[in-house]
Chain A
Amino acid sequence: MVGLSVGEKHFIQGGIAQDLRTDGRRRLTYRPFNVETGVIPQANGSARVRLGGTDVIASVKAELGKPSPSQPDKGKVNIYVDCSPTAAPMFEGRGGEELSTELSGALQHCLLGGKSGAGAGIDLSSLVVVEGKVCWDLYIDGLVVSSDGNLLDALGAAIKAALTNTGIPKVEVAVGASGDGLPEVDISDDEYLQFDTSGVPVIVTLTKVGRHYIVDATLEEESQMSSAVSVSVSGQGRICGLIKRGGAGLDPSVILDMISVAKHVSEQLMNKLDSEISAAEAFEEES
């Protein structure tokens, strides 16, 4: 996929070792990014995030469903990611499926917490309409339109922005319709409930190249990585999820070090993202 000569590889590795990367960034600097909300009017919420050459779209669709019997007081959230062949010819046909599955899995780990729903970044109990009977199912779809590295962080940011943009219609439950059947519900057309997304974590991926690690790696830098650790950190500074990718082993002390760095970086990222999202929302309301 990425064809690099020996000289280019040395240049990338040397730059990272000297804290000056090929595009002039330092090791822990993100590329400038841009958030646009409401790009898919048919969805309940959507956002497009452009991070350098990486371009992803996230959309949230809500459907009424039945909560699972084991968790009657919680709604359901599904995350799927699709890699469009426009991003790279290798995603043609079923070629993108492997990466799509990996990304979907990683996002589910980072945003939805465990099976019980504990530690979820999204408050699942706010999705319940009638306990044990009706709840909202959220379908979060990510689409990679253009890929230039660091897809996971970009998708995480896009999902957070899309959830902030999401309006769930207010539901009136008809009184008296009890019993075993599904209660009748009346979906309001003009009243919407907004989500509290302050708890939704951001994902910071630290990519280890040589002896150092960097954030927001480009595709070229990713091709030189030995391993990568993705940490999802909530607004309160809590770690919500952790994934290690890549072949090489990591020293446990390095991992702890990486986590504390990720936590530090996530604060800046969270602030930047929040201001970008509110700017995008304000822009959307204006136009």
Chain B
Amino acid sequence: MEFVSPEGLRLDGRRPMEMRQIRGEIGAVAKADGSAFFEMGNTKVIAAVYGPREVENRSQQISDQALVRCEYTMANFSTGDRMRKPKGDRRSTEISLVIRQTMEACILTHLMPRSQIDIFVQVLQADGGTRSACINAATLALADAGIPMRDLVTSCSAGYLNSTPLLDLNYVEDSAGGPDVTVGILPKLDKVTLLQMDAKLPMDIFENVMQLAIEGCKAIANYIREVLLENTKQLEYRRGP
């Protein structure tokens, strides 16, 4: 199948190095300590953060740092064909784990010993790149909850189809079977916290694809910073002089 037309356009009309439209919004869930809505094209996710609070299960308590937990759930209507999946299938568990590890790397857990932070991500609509969208939403929600972090974590994926590196794959491109590199970075510290790839790629091409994904992460980081600044300005305005 042709994923990049001779004119250099992808199936949804994007250029190979173009990202989908991204939109972030803070405060999607009223009752949560921090929450955010994040959209990458047709992929839509909501993240909610509860905590830091007392550890529910005493046996899980860690005496010198905070316990970070994460659960990833997909709505029944999130995929093209409606399916009724039992909760906690393997794929969700794996993604929960990935998100937890990525977020744990940036939260200053040693500042909140004996406490627990819960991150819940809910996929409303899946169109490729749910992992990245969830991480971006979780970052926004953690920042909204005022949880101390080293840096913002942002994530983006890139792939390689028709001998072209492609940024931010959608569902059709993702399921084409080509390599899919998901990268998560700490943009200010310039460190990679998440790196996943399936399928195989020659070394030199992998470098290009990964570089492309990192560029995507940086663009998202700039956007997220803007959203946070705008939100803080609003809060300051509402507080009054």
Contacts and interface: CB of A to CB of B under 8 A. Distances in A.
A40 B29 contact: no
B54 to A, nearest CB: 12
A42 B41 CA distance: 13
Nearest to A90: B56
Given A86-B46, A86-B122, A141 B77 contact: yes
Interface size class of B (residues with CB under 8 A): 20 to 34
B71 A59 contact: no
Interface in B108-135: 118, 120-122, 124-125
Nearest to B127: A42
Interface stretch (A120-128, A145-153, A228-236, A243-251): A145-153
A99 to B, nearest CB: 14
A62 to B, nearest CB: 10
Contact of B77 (A46, A85, A89): A46
Contact of B73 (A53, A84, A97, A141): A84
A172 B123 CA distance: 35
B75 A143 contact: yes
Contact of A80 (B32, B84, B88): B84
A53 B31 contact: yes
Interface string B32-69: 10010000001000111010000010000000000000
Nearest to B42: A41
Interface in A72-115: 80, 82, 84-89, 92-94, 97
B122 A145 contact: yes
A86 B47 contact: yes
B91 interface: no
A85 B80 CA distance: 22
A145 B29 contact: yes
Contact of B75 (A82, A139, A146): A82
B124 A57 contact: yes
Nearest to B84: A80
B80 A141 contact: no
Nearest to A147: B31
B27 to A, nearest CB: 10
B77 A61 contact: yes
Interface in A219-262: 219
B60 to A, nearest CB: 13
A285 to B, nearest CB: 20
A284 interface: no
B118 A93 contact: no
A191 interface: no
B140 to A, nearest CB: 13
Contacts of B46: 84, 86, 145
B76 A82 contact: yes
B29 A63 contact: no
Interface of A: 39-43, 46, 52-53, 55, 57, 59, 61, 63, 80, 82, 84-89, 92-94, 97, 139, 141, 143, 145-148, 219
Given A42-B80, A82-B75, A86-B48, 6 more contacts: A55-B29, A86-B120, A89-B120, A143-B122, A146-B30, A148-B30
21 contacts: A40-B124, A41-B125, A42-B78, A42-B79, A42-B80, A52-B30, A53-B30, A53-B31, A59-B76, A61-B77, A85-B73, A85-B122, A86-B46, A86-B122, A88-B31, A89-B56, A94-B87, A94-B88, A139-B82, A141-B76, A145-B46
